[in-house]
Amino acid sequence: MKNIIDWLDETLQHRLNHNDNSTVEQQAEFLRAEAEAAGYSSDELNRTCGGDVAEYIKNRKTEAGDGKMAGDLSPILTPGFNQQ
C-alpha cells in the first residue's frame, strides 16, 4: 500500500476536475470515501490535509491555476501545436 501522501497526490491529479460542478465540500466527501476504500482512515486523511480536506483541495486547485494539480509534472499541450 502506498503512503497516504503519494496516494493523495495521485488521486487528486487523476480524479479531481477543475471544471467539476460539484462543490469542494462534495469533492472532499468523495475523497474521504475513496481514502477509506483504499485502506486509509479519515483521521490519516485529515492529518495529511492539515485538518481540513475541503480547504486542502481548494488550495491545490488554486495553486494549479493552469488546469493542472500542483505537483503535476506533465506538460499541458496546446491542441494543434506541432512539437518538432
pTM for this one? 0.68
In 10 A of CB 39, how many CB atoms?
11
Picking from 3, 26, 23, 10, the residue whose alpha carbon sits closest to that of residue 72 is 10
Burial string for 66-77 (b: 16+ CB within 10 Å, else e) reads: eebbeebeeeee
**Domain boundary assignment for the chain:** 4-64
- Over the stretch 3-55, which tens digit does the pLDDT of each residue have? 999 999 999 887 766 566 678 899 999 999 999 999 999 999 999 999 999 99
